[in-house]
Structure 1
């Protein structure tokens, strides 16, 4: 039987308060915290677009609570249906950069326009997807409520809470074919021991998988994952590279999405 050492320490971040709304000051602190991330070459020749993808990790205040917007992929999608993910997808010929692709996909999937997203930075290095045919580039942004026109205040620093997003409005604007549900994962949930499951990414890198069943509207276990649960339990393997199943088949942030979330929390020093 194979064992591993799980991440041991988690708590508050020096860049923001996990129970208070994000502010201009905290966004600036997060930007500075992400500056040490491995630099990604954002400009891409169009002819090399195949085999490249990008995702956006969208931070947001919702009802005065800071956290991250996530989606459950539509059940009719051919790959990873019913799984939790960030908005994003394949870079196509219309995109001029990896970031362009992430913003376009976010608009197509969640109906959130680029004009409402303030890019805070990126995390790296990018990972290859499980099939081995796609390099996925992760970016971090903050979703401003409504038409915030934030460009002219990016240099300001203050401690006023930034307006909260209307999650119900976002849910009404999602792509019905690509997105099964949208939910908000509070930062405080990322440090709740009851939600954390020690796991391995690609079989050898420990991280936390996050239980989110109760945060998803009408959330139900993914039938495909439930079907594979006995096989996973019989193997007694903590490696969820192939089967991202939680306890009793419940929804989790796992796999590549979970790994990128873990890297972000490490970068923001919530996980140590």
Structure 2
């Protein structure tokens, strides 16, 4: 084995020990959430949580159940189920996972892995009051019919005090516009569903609109 063949072997062995993922050197971390569907008197509905008002992070905001991935979960699917059970007082057998949506890489930390699932009986929910202020449902038909409002957010970067301008003198000081992205807003009664929750909801409705519309039409018939 010559030198290049040896290097090829070493690199092949090293790089194939695990599947490539997402670079997390910028302190990114993984979380998983469940977009829950339940049957209500109004028909198939999406269930939302209002975060407890005593929480330090985003108190009172509307969200889906979910949380940070733990090593013992072994999969993001298990994370979504575990967190939903903890927050809504359910057992794993009460939840049926239907599939996974595209993961969402956010600008402030978490890489979110969203799953769509069915909760077999809404009456079994006894939510954790330390995490959840209340739950509410929105009929799926109503969400499909609603065109969400949207607004754009601009991202910019700004070099810190330790940035080595002497190495790249062409880099100017001050803020520099980078890109923009859309934020979606769904309205229901006195609730505003927005941010990452609305982004996942929009992706689900957009991706499954045809199948969901046909299902609801058959259910009415």
- What's the TM-score, normalizing by structure 1? 0.54
Question: Which of these residues, 97, 103, 110, is aligned with residue 75 of structure 2?
Answer: 97
Would the aligned equivalents of 1:57 and 1:69 in 2 still touch at CA under 8 Å?
yes
Distance between the aligned counterparts of 2:154 and 2:120, measured in 1? 34
Please say if 1:88 is aligned against 2:66.
yes
Distance between the aligned counterparts of 1:201 and 1:123, measured in 2? 23
1:68 is displaced (CA, Å) by 0.8
Please say if 1:266 is aligned against 2:206.
yes
Structure 2 CA distance for partners of 1:84 and 1:62, relative to 1, 3 Å: same
1:76-119 deviations in Å (ceiling 9; x for gaps) = 11211110000000011321110111101001101122101111
Q: Where does the alignment leave 5 or more consecutive residues of structure 2 unmatched? A: 1-18, 20-27, 156-179, 213-221
SS at match of 1:188: helix
Question: Which of these residues, 197, 207, 217, is aligned with residue 149 of structure 2?
Answer: 197
SS at match of 2:71: coil
**1:147-226 alignment, distance < 5 Å:** 165-166=122-123, 169-170=124-125, 173-193=126-146, 196-200=148-152, 204-206=180-182, 208-214=184-190
Count of residue correspondences:
161
Structure 2 CA distance for partners of 1:202 and 1:55, relative to 1, 3 Å: farther
Would the aligned equivalents of 2:87 and 2:127 in 1 still touch at CA under 8 Å?
yes
Structure whose residues are more often strand by fraction: 2
Distance between the aligned counterparts of 1:261 and 1:54, measured in 2? 14
Q: Where does the alignment leave 5 or more consecutive residues of structure 1 unmatched? A: 1-40, 42-49, 146-164, 215-250
Bigger CA radius of gyration: 2
Would the aligned equivalents of 1:201 and 1:256 in 2 still touch at CA under 8 Å?
no
Distance between the aligned counterparts of 1:64 and 1:185, measured in 2? 9
